[in-house]
Amino acid sequence: MQKPYFSDGYYRRSADALHAALDTASAYAAWRRFDAGGGGDVDRRYAALPVLGKEDIRASFPLGLVPAGRDVREGLCSGEIEFVQTSGTTSEKVTNLWNQAWWNASEAASWRLNAHTAHLDHTCREAQLASALSVGFLSGDDLPMRDRVLGGRLLFLNEKASALEWTDRHYRRMAAELGEFQPDILEANPSYLARLCWWASDHGVAILPPRVIVITYEFFSLLHLSAIRRVFPVPVISSYGSTETGYVFMQCEQGTFHQNTESCRVDFLPVGQAHGRQELGRIAVTTFGNPWTALLRFDPGDLVRLRPEAACPCGRREGFVAASIEGRTDGVTLSRTGRLVTTGEVDRALAGVDGLRDYELVQQSAGTCLLRVSAAGEPRAVADGCREALGGLYGPGTAVAVQFSGDLAPAASGKYRRTHAAPGLDLSGCLA
């Protein structure tokens, strides 16, 4: 694995972020004893520090991560910031200080990492399709289109917490609104967009495509990519980030994930020799340029698989380059030999099963899995294909119980989980 190239400007931004956090934000007071000091190598200084978790953000909110010289009360009164809570379970929920201008700058920097979005700015017309728990307006009633448009340029297609609440009327409305609004960019949760595409394919409905689709909010399954490409003949780009970190990686036109070095620093934490895969690891993200939050070495809870070669055919040189975003750390499972298996590996194994549309895998014990699926193909053939694919991944003798459903239910966050271990099966040690 080659060491990535970073510019002098990147190291200056890294040093500035380090000083803003350690010198002025109270949440990092206990971290200062780990720091080698201003004269030390920046990478070494970062490597000596702990990792920030969501529990640390909750414990220090609202003032702990705010740099000196900022008055939160004044920022809230002026509208420069607001409190925004992420969706999810109690352990996942975090309330953040949201600064829209910083977010927009991070997004714009990520768009420059793909030739299909490099020309866009925040004057373009954009539609969003995701759970209303993630973005937009949440309503038990059906909202007219005029009540789901912001500033004349941003349309929220969905006001429901879950796609399970959609009826045929909602599908037809979304298809019609995409044709009427004609967005330049459609930003979507892949599970939600795939469901719209399955409906369009099943009913023979043509939908006017946007110029480009950017996928975010959730792990991007190859099954969903296939469904989306059947309906929308436009570039489909995967983007990775979080509410706390902004936009961290963006897929270029060659399919490589590039670090958004203008917006953040990434420290790569490999899973270790125990699993024999130094290209796989967690990441610790430090944000640049957020005047209200000094986020230092934050672990967003995901695994990244780096490319063996630092160079990408697209010609972009700076930062880490990843082959894939492999899914959540709490989504890892183990093979029969004790090898770590990521959500990405499960997804690639199941992507070739004819007729399979969606899945959720629960590892109940070593060598035993429950696979909940929705499918359009003949059930026995789908079940046999799933068992064969997972047997090849987890090892001979793996018992896979396949359970069919008309559609799968999302988690409390409105997002879908692809893989996880059953309660009582603790796999956290394999990522230590």
Residues 234, 431: Cα–Cα separation, whole Å: 37
CA distance 115 to 254: 10
Residue 336: C-alpha distances to residues 309, 387, 391 (Å): 30, 15, 10
pLDDT digits (tens, 9 = 90+) for 197-237: 999 999 999 999 999 999 999 999 999 999 999 999 999 99
Structural domains of the chain, ranges and CATH numbers in brackets: 8-328 (3.40.50.12780), 332-431 (3.30.300.30)
Q: What is the pLDDT of residue 194?
A: 98
Tokens of 208: 């006017």
Look at 79 and 36; give whichever has higher pLDDT: 79
pTM (predicted TM-score): 0.95
Please say if the pLDDT value at position 425 is more than 80. no
Distance CA 197, CA 386 (A): 23
Type of residue at 89: T
Summarize pLDDT for 288-299 with one digit per residue, the tens.
999 999 999 999
How far is residue 269 from each of residues 6, 34, 257, measured CA to CA in Å?
Answer: 17, 18, 17
Residues 6+ apart with CB under 8 A from 72: 62, 63, 66, 81, 97, 292
Residue 338's pLDDT is 87
State CA 93 to chain mean position distance.
15
For residues 337 and 176, the model is more confident at 176
Q: Which pLDDT tens digit goes with each residue over 247-272?
A: 999 999 999 999 999 999 999 999 87
Task: Report the Cα–Cα distance between both ends of the chain, in Å, rounded.
Answer: 21
Residue type, 123: T
Q: Concatenate the DSSP letters of all residues of 165-187 into one string.
A: G--HHHHHHHHHHHHHH--SEEE
Q: What pLDDT was estimated at residue 91? A: 61
Report whether 265 contacts 10 (CB < 8 A).
Answer: yes
User: Which residue, 320, 312, 262, is CA-closest to 10?
Assistant: 262
- CA-to-CA distance for 70 and 251, rounded, in angstroms? 35
Contact 293, 271 (CB under 8 A): no
